[in-house]
Amino acid sequence: MSTTVKPQTPRTVEAELVVDARNTLGEGVLWDAAAQRVRWTDIAGKTLWELDPANGAVQTREMPERVAHMAFTAQPDRLLLGLESGYAGLDLTRNALTGIVEVEPALAYTRLNDGRVDRAGNLVFGTIDEEQAKPRGGFYRLDTQSKLTRMDLPAPAIPNSICFSPDGKRMYFADSLTFKIMCGDYNAKTGAVKNIRVFVELPDGGEPDGANVDAQGYLWNAQWGLGRVVRYAPDGSEDLIVTLPVKQPSCIAFGGAARDTLYITSARKGLSDAALAAQATAGGLFSVKLDGIAGAPEVPWGGRW
């Protein structure tokens, strides 16, 4: 006699507004453990944001280009910025930018989008097709020697959800317009991704956006259009759902001394006046304290400039 085991209903918690930033396109959030700050970008606003959770102080820095994402380096006062045209180093003390490498300079319709450092210090990122939203972008790797290489992955329209398992052997990624998060076996030495398969497929109306992995190897994904962040077990089953009062969460980071606070960016981009009236805090930074869950630490980019 066989029995059918019903899937367990995922737990649900609610995120709360931390900063009413009203970002047009908040993205790229990271926890800066050295400075004890939350850092994120408003891509459309060409602005870097910074929050000190200890006192609620918020600072902004205007940038000459849109900043899609950022990464830490071995030097606490320097960030690697993924600008719309390529990579530059930002000296936080002098507020000075140093160019490192251009990306797809001959393609006027693409810009950098999502990116994250693998467990070996290489930065993996993708380019988005802003003109036609067709799969004309690419996935790339900026290694620890500042060498730029296009990865052998399907061309995306909107690359997102790039992150890595704690042991660095599994890579997650998505083209948001396919509504699927993919995963594959990742070789940090070569950048090769093998055995690519579907990890999860989102419900109707949802696009996979920024993702991250916690210390237990569970994937967390911000789901644009669905107003939620979902924690998935390594087998793809839903474990926890974080709900938000806005429909367009965009990226996530684990912050705090124990990395047990989830920070979530969001966006106002594309929302009608009626939608903005219903989602007054759209574009804000949200957070939720996690119970017994901690994020995996962010790895700094291994290159220098």
Asked whether residue 269 is domain-assigned, the answer is: yes
Q: Is residue 63 assigned to a domain?
A: yes
User: Does residue 294 form part of some domain?
Assistant: no
CATH code of 57's domain: 2.120.10.30
Any domain includes 299: no
Structural domain range at position 283: 11-289
Q: Is residue 181 part of a domain?
A: yes
From first to last of the 305 residues of the chain, give the pLDDT tens digit.
Answer: 444 445 678 999 999 999 999 999 999 999 999 999 999 999 999 999 999 999 999 999 999 999 999 999 999 999 999 999 999 999 999 999 999 999 999 999 999 999 999 999 999 999 999 999 999 999 999 999 999 999 999 999 999 999 999 999 999 999 999 999 999 999 999 999 999 999 999 999 999 999 999 999 999 999 999 999 999 999 999 999 999 999 999 999 999 999 999 999 999 999 999 999 999 999 999 999 999 999 999 999 999 88
- Is residue 282 included in any domain, yes or no? yes
B/e letters for 20-32, b = 16+ CB within 10 Å, e = fewer, are ebbbbbbbbbbbb
| Domain contains 53 | yes
Tell me whether residue 302 is in a domain: no
Domain count, the chain: 1
